[in-house]
Amino acid sequence: MDRVAVRGLKALGRHGVFEHERAEGQLFVVDVDMAVDTRPAAAGDDLTATVHYGVVAEEVHAIVTGEPVDLIETLAQRIADQCLSHEAVHEVEVVVHKPDAPISVPFDDVTITIKRSRS
């Protein structure tokens, strides 16, 4: 399988278990890496035979900025489900970064990484 990736997608979300996370919102960064057989698209130079990464980026942005959830695990699953709704996508790896997570000690980033495929 070939890979089509969108990395570093940034959006303001209101996810988290604390009230201030919901009220103020915070930056989330998302990476998606999709397994796609790109041979049909390449052979015919046909966008409809692959996944449109621009559309995927818009969909991921809408999920992050949309309905709040408590856990970034839930957010990652929603993103994976949306990516897999595209016929060309056979598998997806989603990384959700929460660089401003409410942690009381110095840190660089908090992430969840999930990999999902068609069942």
Contact 82, 64 (CB under 8 A): no
For the record, the structure tokens of 60 come out as 């991921």
Q: Which residues are catalytic?
A: 98
pLDDT score, position 119: 75
pLDDT score, position 74: 98
pLDDT at 46 exceeding the cut of 80? yes
**72-93: pLDDT as tens digits:** 999 999 999 999 999 999 999 9
CATH number for 47: 3.30.1130.10
Domain count, the chain: 1
pLDDT averaged over every residue in the chain? 97
For the record, the structure tokens of 68 come out as 């709040």
Band of the pLDDT at 63, cuts 50, 70, 90? very high
pLDDT score, position 95: 98
Domain range spanning residue 33? 2-117
pLDDT at 106 exceeding the cut of 80? yes
